[in-house]
Amino acid sequence: MKLLILVDNKNAIAKNGEQILFVDNDLQMFKKYTTNNIIVMGSKTFYAIGRQLPNRISVVFTHLKVEDKEDLFYVDSIKKLDDIIKKYSDKEVFVIGGAAIIKLLWDRIDELIVTRVDTVVEGADKFIPDFDGFKLVGKSEIEDPNYKVYHEIWKREK
């Protein structure tokens, strides 16, 4: 299981219920990683996206009773998530937010694919854990007109 996320220098991911920043090249990278794979998110993240993303299996954690649709599953437990992952065992699994879902699945994540924006977003209110137990194995700069942005790959140390 992999985490695919954009953070600032303090590992903030959201402010007032919205992603802290958007980087054009990050959105293209997100599409490249997740197309034809499984994305796992909380309901706030799903509704912030505003629609089911095409060519992906979407799994949304929620306590509401919502009917599944084609390639869109609503779950209320890790066991139900595991059942879906088993069903699509040829797919990679990407956790995409929010903070509560990341914390719920943190111990199962073995790779962090991070877009790091070299800034601190004032007033940010949702953070992910520090990367203790992970090792930085790759880092490159992403073109952006507004910020210094890095693509980082972290692997969990065994």
Share of the chain above pLDDT 90, in %: 94
Q: What value does the mean pLDDT take over residues 66-88?
A: 97
Strands 57-61 and 38-42: parallel
> What pLDDT shows up at residue 158?
83
Q: Model-level pTM?
A: 0.95
The model's pLDDT over 30-43, given as tens digits with 9 standing for 90+, comes to 999 999 999 999 99
Q: What is the pLDDT of residues 121-155, one digit of tens each?
A: 999 999 999 999 999 999 999 999 999 999 999 99
| Banded pLDDT at 25 (limits 50, 70, 90) | confident
Residue extents of the structural domains in the chain: 2-156
| CATH superfamily, with its number, for domain 2-156 | Dihydrofolate Reductase, subunit A (3.40.430.10)
- Mean pLDDT in residue range 79-90: 97
Compute the distance between CA of residue 121 and CA of residue 140 in angstroms, rounded to an integer: 21
Q: At 8, is the pLDDT very low, low, confident or very high (cuts 50, 70, 90)? A: very high
More confident position, 17 or 38: 38
What does the alpha-carbon distance between residue 88 and residue 85 come to, in Å, rounded to a whole number?
5
Residue 65, by phi and psi: left (phi above 0), alpha (psi -120 to 50) or beta?
beta
What is the C-alpha to C-alpha distance for residues 144 and 123, in angstroms, rounded to an integer?
Answer: 23
CA distances from 40 to 93, 104, 146 (A): 7, 11, 29
